[in-house]
Amino acid sequence: MPELPEVEVTRQGIAPHLIGHAVTRVVVRQPKLRWPVPPEILQLQGQTITGVSRRAKYLLVECAVGTLILHLGMSGSLRVLSPAPPAEKHDHLDIELDSGAVLRLNDPRRFGAALWWTQPLDGHPLIAKLGPEPLSAAFNTEHLALCLKGRTKAVKLALMDNQVVVGVGNIYANEALFGAGIDPRKSGGELTPAAIERLVAEVKAVLARAITQGGTTLKDFTQADGKPGYFAQELLVYGKGGEPCPVCDHRLKTVKLGQRTTTYCPRCQR
């Protein structure tokens, strides 16, 4: 599943091709995605795109009359094609531009979304209750300490709670907890102030590095230009259960937390 760095890399890739260009046509080939694609999405036709932003894993294509909200789901991708080849089986949505380029949504599993919203975005039901962006100043030691206070839930699960902080999915939660030296099974309420400070710093550092490297290609993700993300080459623990710890050589252990595979070093992470 594309996580925050992959979505941000996609945003950076498509934004220069969209902003300032008018939409000449919207083609919906498959309206049955995670939620039905609303017919109101056709209001984008004739509009000039004024911005392409991101909130959590949602991509926001903005114009004067509303915002197209896109989500890549588990296997979705967005490509800017010029010229666009004939659509294939899983090419569900095209946004045609006055430049001749086409923004195309491909989603084999159809867990992605294309929605239309004309009100302030912070009032959208999918966005209203989201926590702070992890790379923003709002995600800090004080915020995380308040969220973890008294919680018995494993810290890894708390870190993946979008009401605590958005976009820290399974890959990056594993990596950040390893970098901070924190056992992912530990209750959030047990963390010391120093541990929380380390964890905040590691979340920011891991995500920033992943964005710089173009995301992490595991199965389905590629960048908007079709190239793979290279952060997979820098992963220290994710997907490496049974291998030696890159710090102490102790065997990395894998457990399930919240039905998600979790890899950690029993010696380095306390």
Same domain, 29 and 79: yes
In angstroms, what CA-CA distances link 257 with 73, 252, 254, 270?
21, 16, 10, 16
90 is in an annotated binding site: yes
Catalytic machinery residues? 2-3, 57, 260
Same domain, 192 and 220: yes
Domain range for 18: 4-123
76-122 residue pLDDT tens: 999 999 999 999 999 999 999 999 999 999 999 999 999 999 999 99
CA 58 from chain centre, in angstroms, equals 8
Same domain, 119 and 9: yes
Q: Is 210 helix (H, G, I), strand (E, B) or coil?
A: helix
Range of 73-77, 217-221, 239-243 with top mean pLDDT: 239-243
pLDDT at site 229: 41
Answer whether residue 210 is part of any domain. Answer: yes
Q: What whole-number distance in Å separates Cα of residue 63 and Cα of residue 57?
A: 19
Same domain, 90 and 146: no
State the pLDDT confidence band at 212, using cuts at 50, 70 and 90.
confident
How high is the mean pLDDT of the chain? 92
Same domain, 147 and 250: yes
Give me the residue label for tokens 């049955």.
32
Same domain, 118 and 70: yes
Answer whether residue 198 is part of any domain. Answer: yes
Angle at 269 between CA 263 and CA 270, to 5 degrees: 130
124-168 residue pLDDT tens: 999 999 999 999 999 999 999 999 999 999 999 999 999 999 999
Same domain, 107 and 150: no
- Average confidence (pLDDT) over 20-40: 98
Q: Decide which of 62, 91, 123 is a domain's last residue.
A: 123
Instruction: Check pLDDT > 50 for residue 28.
Output: yes
Same domain, 232 and 184: yes
Same domain, 256 and 166: yes
- Average confidence (pLDDT) over 32-39: 97
- Average confidence (pLDDT) over 171-177: 95
pLDDT at site 106: 95
Task: Report how many domains make up the chain.
Answer: 2
Answer whether residue 232 is part of any domain. Answer: yes
CA-wise closest residue to 166 among 187, 149, 147: 147
State the pLDDT confidence band at 232, using cuts at 50, 70 and 90.
low
54 is in an annotated binding site: no
151 is in an annotated binding site: yes
